Amino acid sequence: MAMREKDRTMQAVVERLQCELSNQYLQYREERDARKLLIWHLSDLTRASVKEEHPAGENTEAKDPLELQLALRVCREDLTKAQEELSKMKAEYWDVVPRRNWDNLEQTHKQTLLQLKTLQDDFDQLKSEYDTLLELHKRGSMQSDTHDSTTVQIDATVSQGQSKIQSSQLKELINSNTPESRTLTIQEFRAALRTAFPLKSDEEIDELVSSAQSESDRSDIISSQILHSLVRTSRGFTISV
C-alpha cells in the first residue's frame, strides 16, 4: 500500500510539472508568435509603402492580418489539444504492454502449458510403473522372507535331529559293554567327552583330547577304545570313592 501511494504521489508530481512546462511553453510560443506577427505587420507596411511608390500589377492581393491571426490561433488551439491528449495517453497507458509483446508472451505461455501437460503425463506414467514395480518388489521380499524363514526352520530341525542322533550314537558308544573298535574325528571325540563328562571344563576336555592324541597313531583320528578306557577309568574312580 505504501508503494502504491508513493507511485500515485510521484505520478501527481510528474503531471503537475508537465502541466507547468506546457504552460510555459505555451507562453513562450505565444510571445514568439506575437513577435513574428509584429514582424509580418512591419513587413506588410514596408511592402505597402513600396507598392505605393512602385505599384505592381492588378492581380497582386494583400493578405488580411486578422485572417492570419485567426489561423494562428486555431493552430495553437489544435496543438494544445494534441499535447493534452498525448499527456493523457501517457498517463493512462504508461504501464500497458504493447500488443506485439503481449502476443509473444501469450504464445510462450501456451507452449509452456503444453510442455507442462506432456511432462505431467510422462510423470504419471512413470509413477504408475514405479508403484507397480514397488508392489512386485514387496511381494518378492515377503516371499523371500517366508522362504528364508522356512529354510531356517528346516535347517534348525535337521540340525536338532542330527544332534539328537549323534548324541544318541555317542551315548550308545559310551555306554556299550562290548564296544566296537572304530575311529573318531577330533570333533567327534571332543563331543563324546563332553557327553561323558558334562561337568568338566574346556581346559580339562582339551587335556583329555591331547592325551588321547598322544596315544593314537594319528593326530587327526582317535580310536573309540581310548574313549571307553577313559570312561571306565572315570567310572571306576567314582565307584571306589
SS3 221: strand
Q: Is 108 inside any structural domain?
A: no
When divided into structural domains, the chain yields a total of 2
Could you write out the DSSP letters of every residue in 104-120?
A: HHHHHHHHHHHHHHHHH
For the beta carbon of residue 173, count every other beta carbon within 10 angstroms. Answer: 20
Q: What is the pTM of this model?
A: 0.28
What is the residue range of 211's domain? 160-240
11 and 90 both lie in a single domain: yes
- Backbone torsions φ then ψ of 223, nearest 5 degrees: -75, 145
From first to last of its 241 residues, the chain has per-residue pLDDT tens of 677 787 788 888 888 888 888 888 888 888 888 888 888 877 777 777 766 655 544 444 556 777 888 888 888 888 888 888 888 888 887 777 778 888 898 999 999 999 999 999 999 999 999 999 999 998 888 887 776 666 667 666 545 544 444 455 555 555 555 445 677 788 887 887 787 777 788 888 888 888 877 777 676 777 777 776 777 766 554 433 3
Q: Is 131 inside any structural domain?
A: no
d(CA 168, CA 231): 16
- Per DSSP, 223 falls in state E
Asked if 80 and 23 touch (Cβ cutoff 8 Å), the reply is: no
Packing angle of the helix pair 224-240, 99-175 (nearest 10 deg) = 60
Q: Is 117 inside any structural domain?
A: no
For the beta carbon of residue 183, count every other beta carbon within 10 angstroms. Answer: 14
Q: Is 28 inside any structural domain?
A: yes
d(CA 196, CA 234): 10
